[in-house]
A and B are shown apart, each in its own frame.
Chain A
């Protein structure tokens, strides 16, 4: 019995030895960048593209001579759309692979899952997707849109340009739509929209039978007031939703739908003919007419080897985030997370829509907001944009519990949720 136990222990030890030996000996020669996007499971549909975009950006940077005189090395892992696995893989990237920064996550839950890991191991996460806000962490940089960089301008546009008076807030039942709709509801009411002129509807993930809801929307829209749908419907559910809209003959002229989660990538699975004129609010469209964008699209198509592949907003967010990180590392002269966190605030890099985006002290960035209409070719045409850049707001001004909160990760405040009313930094004590 004892010999058996001993031999298995030896086997275990060998296993450990093998695993630790697999860390390459030349680890010092490259700077490692972690890519944490699902390549399988339900989210692969959106995230695989971002993995490819990151590989392209790293490739391009290496062609330009790398960073701090070293080559960049991408470490790709697959968290398989499994949220605990996101945390496990993040830990592996930081502890075992010793990456200097991680670019990744799509869903809010994946971000929430890895958050404690980044805090504990003090590393950097660049999160490229529009999200619900209500968060500001020292170790995370939010390069996607906060609600005030997407939802509120879109509603303003509909209200002012289209004269919308009646609102359907339709979303998938998860935290991003819930929070966004709550903010919008508060905002609309502040603008004098009556309770009965707002309809809120939630559907499960991957909802595919939209007949009832679309006809409810139709009925809601026949009250004699101009009606619009604000859609926070997520990923997969959009295709059947839009197909049903098209078939039931809801035209953009009558009841426009403005979506916050539908980009070029999602439209690629759809015949957009019947959808022309429906709207999306983003900070980037592939149709943006700038040199930087043309260059980016060209590089992307060449990299992926497919002329039909499209670009989208989260890709631009990675583009901005990655360049910010590069610039901050150059500024700090090291990849040490603390130094980069100090250096990155205020860093400004060109975005793809012809301006510059800057990292703000609350770890959100400045972005222009564009409203685009769906075209028959699956692209968006910008019909409106903010005159200047909008600063990402971590804590919404329209929610009672967060309107007093601000975030500033510079010294001396160094706090992600500072309550201006009580003058205290709430929650966990800030890291030093």
Chain B
């Protein structure tokens, strides 16, 4: 048994003379017992379980854990810190969990001579109990430095200790860590946890983790074969990684079986990949749509070539930054709501600037579309430089609230929350805008003015007011887009510039004066781009899309959703 472990294909760079080896040996014996006799395993698990219960209740072992923890204080360099972690791992004692978590988060403070605290929000806590320490000696404390390889050691150690944690999420996390690492030293803990686990899905995960360990540590071909089957059934990237790793060192029938499993998993994955690509396309499309929708109003409906459109988006993003700064300094508790607060603010700021622009510049230029292009380009330069002067040329940090961070999986597709919300947001905006245009009095006035200005004004519609409001609406919507884009892109003075050309392409491609066109156009371009990217690369893909648009405009000079008939030709 120990023999096998020494011959693990990837010893993971750990010193074999470290205390870990001892732990492994103990587990090995336990593991052997399990294979010799299933009952023995249960007994073994039961014994340890009892022991742990006892230990927890009586804190009998607290002293020894504390003794190990205090060694952090005098550990010099990464290798010694690692040794201490290994020692803690060897105890398998959940008492060490708090300390290890703190170490992982860089919150463990030490001083020579055995002083160890956890620092949290300026308070110094006991490394085991987590109780604030009265009269803590805080002078000369140093943070224990860690690095990636230590983080891996820590999470491996933690996985063994947290397999029986109360929180099912933590147990699941622990099981999947073991699955990825195939760490044989966790087998014993795993077996115990498996015996006690009641949640079926976590049980399954633990079985898979066990299979992962068996795959690399078992001598029994039948067992390895079963393990291969279990892992194949899991069918995700992590499984593929294990299988490839195994196949690289296996031979004979098992290798064949592994190869078959690999191709089966790959097949599943490639199907998911197509779905993933569609999703990426949709999400890119939603970004394009957000960038373009304000323009669909100012350019598409009003015919104003607003080159400062990108800067309206930028203003929205900077408004988000300012809102978050205010929240950080005055009401940190509201951070999760910062985007919701920023939305109306961004609408008002960008809309206000748009209103100002319309009243002071654009209204003098109606009917001279090419001149508005120049004047608004001038406005865009001024806004850019103004932002650069006020906020500085460097990127500003706009944080993601928790609900905008991370990802969830749908089958084997991974969907990031920020993209999901942005897709939802863009669709919501589309619906809202359609509502405003089609169902409100203002929308009616707006359509009346754009279709027949003279007639509208003779029907007592204040056309200048409608113009101003329409432009402000388009700008405000660009500001809203800025809030969303601040979540995925740089917030810098150049933000607007990077979207302006794409926005025009979307509006022109979709067909001017048609929100549906903008929507379909944006998503079409987004998906086309994402399907081209794997074959042509990001740059060439984008060039191809541009060339496509140029040629498309030749075929349909008025875009995807052009109005036909003689009215538009007049």
Contact = CB atoms under 8 A, between A and B. Distances in A.
Interface of A: 39-40, 42, 44-45, 48-49, 161-163, 173, 201-204, 206-209, 211-213, 215-216, 218-219, 221-225, 236, 239-240, 243-244, 246-249, 252-254, 256, 265-266, 268-271, 274, 276-277, 279, 373, 375-376, 381, 383
- Name the residue among B488, B534, B539 with the largest chain A CB count within 10 angstroms: B488
Interface stretch (B65-73, B127-135, B234-242, B503-511): B234-242
Given A249-B407, A256-B148, A277-B151, A212 B385 contact: no
B419 A211 contact: yes
B400 A271 contact: yes
B179 to A, nearest CB: 13
Contacts of B244: 222-224
A382 to B, nearest CB: 9
Kindly list the 8 A-B residue pairs having the minimum CB-CB distance in the complex, ordered from nearest. A269-B395, A224-B245, A224-B244, A247-B416, A222-B241, A44-B393, A222-B237, A383-B147
Contacts of A240: 488-490
A93 to B, nearest CB: 21
B498 interface: yes
A204 B397 contact: no
Interface string B90-116: 000000000000000110000000000
A333 to B, nearest CB: 39
Interface string B144-155: 010111011001
Interface string B376-415: 0000000001001000111111011000011100000010
Contact of B490 (A161, A252, A254, A269): A269
A360 B244 CA distance: 48
B242 A224 contact: yes
B494 A236 contact: yes
A173 B539 contact: yes
A126 B295 CA distance: 45
A161 B149 contact: yes
A428 B476 CA distance: 58
Interface in B515-540: 529-530, 533-534, 537-539
Contacts of A212: 277, 280, 530, 533-534, 538
B12 A163 contact: yes
A214 B547 CA distance: 26
Nearest to A239: B490
Contact of B538 (A207, A225, A266): A207
Contacts of A243: 400, 418, 487-488
Contacts of B284: 209, 211
Given A45-B492, A163-B13, A265 B394 contact: yes
A411 B392 CA distance: 46
B425 to A, nearest CB: 16
B498 A208 contact: yes
B534 A247 contact: no
Nearest to B13: A163
A22 B405 CA distance: 57
- Name the residue among B12, B396, B492 with the largest chain A CB count within 10 angstroms: B492
Contacts of B145: 381, 383
Given A212-B530, A224-B242, A277-B148, A247 B395 contact: no
B117 interface: no
B494 A271 contact: no
Contacts of A163: 12-13
Given A45-B393, A204-B542, A208-B498, A247 B148 contact: no
Q: Would you call the interface of chain B mostly helix, strand, loop, or mixed?
A: helix
Contacts of B489: 208, 239-240
Contacts of A223: 240-241, 244-245
A19 B418 CA distance: 56
Contacts of A269: 394-397, 490-492
Contacts of B243: 224
5 contacts: A48-B393, A162-B148, A215-B414, A243-B400, A248-B414
Contact of B238 (A44, A222, A381, A383): A222
Contacts of B492: 45, 236, 269
A45 B395 contact: yes
A208 to B, nearest CB: 5
A199 to B, nearest CB: 13
Interface of B: 12-13, 78, 105-106, 145, 147-149, 151-152, 155, 180, 237-238, 240-248, 269, 276-277, 280, 283-284, 287, 385, 388, 392-397, 399-400, 405-407, 414, 416-419, 487-494, 498, 529-530, 533-534, 537-539, 542
B148 A253 contact: yes
Given A161-B149, A203-B539, A253-B155, 19 more contacts: A40-B385, A45-B395, A45-B494, A48-B392, A163-B13, A204-B538, A209-B280, A216-B534, A218-B237, A221-B241, A223-B244, A224-B242, A224-B243, A243-B488, A246-B405, A247-B407, A253-B151, A269-B396, A269-B490
Contact of B152 (A207, A208, A253, A276): A253
Contacts of A39: 393
B397 A249 contact: no
Nearest to B11: A163
Contacts of A209: 280, 284, 287, 529
B248 A224 contact: yes
B147 A373 contact: yes
A270 B78 contact: no
A269 B395 CA distance: 5
A39 to B, nearest CB: 8
Given A49-B394, A247-B405, A208 B151 contact: no
Given A45-B395, A224-B248, A247 B417 contact: yes
A17 B323 CA distance: 53
A204 B12 CA distance: 37
Contacts of B490: 208, 236, 239-240, 269
A309 to B, nearest CB: 9
Contact of A375 (B106, B276, B280, B393): B106
A141 to B, nearest CB: 26
B394 A268 contact: yes
Contact of B395 (A222, A239, A277, A373): A239
A212 B490 CA distance: 18
A196 to B, nearest CB: 12
Contacts of B283: 211
Contacts of A252: 148, 151
A42 B405 CA distance: 28
Contacts of A42: 494
Contacts of A248: 407, 414, 416
Nearest to B417: A247
A209 B147 CA distance: 29
Contacts of A246: 405
Contacts of B493: 44-45
B423 to A, nearest CB: 12
Nearest to B499: A208
Contacts of A225: 245
